[in-house]
Structure 1
Amino acid sequence: MMGFCWDWSRECGPHGRGWVGPTVLLCIYGFCSMMRPSEPFLTDYLTGPYKNLTTKQVTRQVLPICVYSNLFLLIPVFLVTDILRYKPVIVLQALNYILAFLLFIFSSGVVLTQCALFIYSMGTAADVAYYSYIYSVVHPQYYQRVTSYARGAVLLGYAAGAMLGQLLVSLGGVSIYWLNVITLGSLCVALLAALLLPMPQRSLVLGGTQNDNGPFEEVVSSSRGSWVVWWLRKGIRTGRGEMRALKRLVVDCKECYSSMAVLFFCVWSAMGKCGYHQITGYVQLLWASKQPQYNFTEYNGGVEAVATLSGAAASIAVGHVALDWSVWGELVLGVFTALTAGVLYLMDLTNSIWICYGCYGLFKTIYMALITICTFQIAQGLSRERYALVFGVNSFVGMALQSLLTAIVVNTKSLQLTITSQFLVYASYFAAMVVLFLIRGVYTLLQSRLMELIPAEGLSERRT
């Protein structure tokens, strides 16, 4: 197999050819793990004859499990991911997804459905392993390329699954039950791809890198990158290994967020993820409230597929825009977040399911573009061993915000908000983000222009 390099000691080979093998397998895993034809119809499956749950049970008892369990699991999974060096966690993620869908297919009742969603959340909490794995097995010169491939595989997999589900339901008359069976088969293929991934010989956060100096250089040299082996040999004997690792995490975290430019893109990333996951998690309930009661064919899968593909196209397009993002980036975030808030208000207030569908597609497209801007702006200000750390912290903050939003909007018994009232709150949440980032964007732009004028004035004075 030309170009496939499984040995860490030959990282990318003499000419950088070894990135192909791990990238192909990771993309196959990403595509198959996200090709879930049943997901756009999850609410119908839970409230239909298969599970016989009420809309209130789904809204207040079932769906919040994902949010709260993600928050609880994210940090432990993040640390374990780095300790085990990514591949075992990717394998466990696939196994969690398989077990969750087995429960979806064969179980019944609120409690078992909650268990299925908890296990499913264990899988989603391990996304950090998927996005960090490739950085530990390829050379830095390929980071941009492999990142686009890995993200593109996920988006294409989700779009393909959504479109397949829509076609099978609309044209083939296939029941949602069998969509879950197809999803289970796709996840089994993903598990096989995960098992074939080469095992990294170092980690990015706790285990150090080849360029590290100091105590963590010993991790790579003496233990072939295994933080666990190093901890057992040194940490237990001295009693300081664990504290040293935690201290490094704290110092790295402080340095990562010391730049105001990086900080604000991280803030949008965390807040944006919170709002995005809340919208996508509950949008099927909103669609159900907008749909005509009789003689209507749902197009949830088709809408998700088109929205995902347009979001992928927007992400790619943003990467080719020639703009000084360090100056204009925050203002762009503010302007397009304002458009997002307007779209959400319209989606909530309209009585037309078609306008609601269209607004959702526009919302998802804008979000994909803006999160891409945040991602590459954050990455430009970080060394590669800190990328996984910042990704994990941003995800944790986003999940904490989502948990707080869910607790207030969904689970507060005194409020008892309808689904349309909930989406009004979510739209207002994005409107609050607009104020913050418009102010920050204008400030950054004025500061940049002022810095350009001062040298120019000084030069003209010297000439006179």
Structure 2
Amino acid sequence: MNLQQKIRSWGWIYPTAILCLYGFFANCRPAEPFLTPYLVGPKNISEEVVTNYLFPIWTYSYLALLFPVFLLTDFLRYKPLIMLQGAALVSNYCLLCFSDSLAAMTALQVNYAVVTSTEVAYFSSIYCLVPPERYQQATGYLRAAMLIGYTFGATLSQLLVSLVGTSLFHINAITLGTVSVSLLVSLAIPMPRRGMFFKGAEAGEEAEEQASGSEVEKGGCCQGSLVAGVGVVSQMWAALREGYGSGRVVCWSLWWALATSGYTQVFNYVQLMWDHVEPSSTAAIYNGGVEAVCTLVGAAAAFGVGHVRVSWSRWGELCLGVFSAVGAGAVFLMAFSSSIWLCYAGYVLFKASYMLLITITTFQIAANLSMECYALTFGINTFVALVLQTVITAIIVDESALGLDIVTQFIVYGSYYTAISTVFFIRGLYTACRHHCRPTHPTPHKEVLSSQRL
């Protein structure tokens, strides 16, 4: 029995369960909410070096790796890249546990870029392992597993730090154990027979058939490879045209790229802001608890929006503008507050508003696209967001440029989100007024469908 027959006999449950198990352990990282206190404290690295030197290295490395990893993911059919992610996580926490040099911490940032760039393999693999009618259900399970893993890890670390007084070294050792389990689980993930663009064995067979039917026998293999390569490029180009052929998809994708770059900057540097407002004294910090609360609040917001009936074609852009303004206010609250609790509250509000909007955006983009188009659109949106983030990092954060302090950085991020909210609020008002002044008369079926996309 070949792999495809085995997958059919297992149904969709086995690959979904294995990927969920991997997602749980890979995201159950108790040490992550305390990374900055660990670097600044036990590792004895200054806050300025962490802010203006170490963290920018991750951004630059991520940008360099994302596109080639995206292509390799489909070509190698997902599983090797997921295993690579698991191995990179293990090596990361080995470095954190057993090395103190700045060079090792620099290598860690490059290594972490491998982890983040290979996330596309995890998110996309499910669509080559389950039937299309199970896409939505399997996707929900995968995201739930990641959420539960992250929340469990953050809660566990906070309890260990606050109630037991566990050292940050031992928190990192525990994390090394959980990510090691994820590496072992990745070995059991089925290998898809074909990718979305690179069809694997099937493409090879088709190419051989075309080559064998040719009058010219010499060079038949090269001709088959050329045909397969042209087919991949043509499929990607068709998916690209379909993905960005709609003005609405372009608008949602623009918000995705702009907002995600700002969100990632805030997420990466918020621990430094917390450490600035209240310098770390292990027993008095609640980073893990705050991250757990953020995840739960954000998940509740994302879940709640799935039960809201809204004509997103009319009100979607206005919604992006309003909640982006909420995010901007939350960032300014963190920047100007001298209370750690207000800073925590601002972060919860910021992350919840982003998770709400990114959920809406994801569904709106995916609603009218095939899965191949969605995967490519997701990759391009992520790449554009990363390019913007790299520009921000190079100008604002990098010590070779402005090298701004953490408070000034957050003022810039708040201003950035204010600009995003202004653009989309004005655009949203225009769209809403246009619908009001020139009402359309869609068929009842389409209207109901658009309101129930989420």
- With normalisation by structure 1, the TM-score equals 0.87
1:3-402 superposed matches below 5 A: 7-9=3-5, 18-49=11-42, 51-207=43-199, 219=203, 222=206, 234=221, 239=226, 241-291=228-278, 297-402=284-389
CA distance in 2, matches of 1:255, 1:129: 22
Deviations along 1:262-292, one digit per CA (max 9) or x if unpaired, are 1111111112221111101000110011116
Cα RMSD (Å) of the superposition? Answer: 2.5
CA distance in 1, matches of 2:131, 2:260: 29
Contact 1:19 1:142 in 2 (8 A): yes
Distance 1:348 1:23, change over 3 A: same
Report what 1:213 is aligned to: none
Distance 1:342 1:238, change over 3 A: closer
Task: Report deviation, 1:311.
Answer: 0.8
Distance 1:413 1:394, change over 3 A: same
Gaps of 5+ in 1: 209-216, 225-231, 457-464
Contact 1:6 1:22 in 2 (8 A): no
CA distance in 1, matches of 2:335, 2:368: 38
Distance 1:89 1:294, change over 3 A: closer
CA distance in 1, matches of 2:369, 2:204: 21
Aligned-pair identity in percent equals 45
CA distance in 2, matches of 1:286, 1:377: 34
CA distance in 1, matches of 2:88, 2:293: 28
CA distance in 2, matches of 1:351, 1:406: 25
Contact 1:202 1:220 in 2 (8 A): no
Task: Report deviation, 1:248.
Answer: 3.4
Task: Report deviation, 1:196.
Answer: 0.8
- With normalisation by structure 2, the TM-score equals 0.89
Distance 1:234 1:159, change over 3 A: farther
Contact 1:262 1:381 in 2 (8 A): no
Contact 1:6 1:21 in 2 (8 A): no
Q: How many residues are treated as equivalent by the alignment?
A: 433
Distance 1:361 1:193, change over 3 A: same
Deviations along 1:158-197, one digit per CA (max 9) or x if unpaired, are 1111111111111111111111111111111111221111
Deviations along 1:224-252, one digit per CA (max 9) or x if unpaired, are 9xxxxxxx985566646445533432342
One-letter amino acid of the structure 2 residue matched with residue 177 of structure 1: F
Contact 1:156 1:309 in 2 (8 A): no
CA distance in 2, matches of 1:89, 1:334: 37
One-letter amino acid of the structure 1 residue matched with residue 195 of structure 2: S
Task: Report deviation, 1:439.
Answer: 2.3
Contact 2:69 2:117 in 1 (8 A): yes
CA distance in 2, matches of 1:34, 1:272: 23
Q: Secondary structure at the match of 2:284?
A: coil
Distance 1:9 1:282, change over 3 A: same
